[in-house]
Amino acid sequence: MPNTPSKSNSLPAVLITGCSSGLGHALALRFVKAGHPTYATATVEQQHGQVGILINNAAIGLMTPIETVPIEQVRQQYETSVFGVLAVTQAVIPGMH
């Protein structure tokens, strides 16, 4: 869902994870409407040289009593909500400095 990319755009580029629905989707639409080059993928640095704004929105929530939740679901939640956020952040921050 990127808008028209341009290295000369004065607004910072935005990279948002978790944009298929919910808050991430709404944020992406709002940034696009405001004129920000907005991406739901990691190609932003090739087009803009760096990410100006990172919104780590991807997450998985479990609404299950802890005594019955399958451990594999908890692992998937951590992979997305903790390790995924960390990986995207570490990939993007060097260009933000």
Fold of 14-96: Rossmann fold (3.40.50)
Report residue 26 as tokens: 């709404």
Query: 37: closest CA among 13, 70, 57, 71?
Result: 13
Contact 51, 95 (CB under 8 A): yes
Q: What is the pLDDT of residues 10-59, one digit of tens each?
A: 899 998 887 778 888 899 999 999 999 998 765 777 677 778 888 888 88
Reply yes or no on whether the pLDDT at 92 is more than 80.
yes
Predicted pLDDT at 77: 92
Q: Which residue ranges make up each domain of the chain?
A: 14-96
pTM attached to this predicted model: 0.63
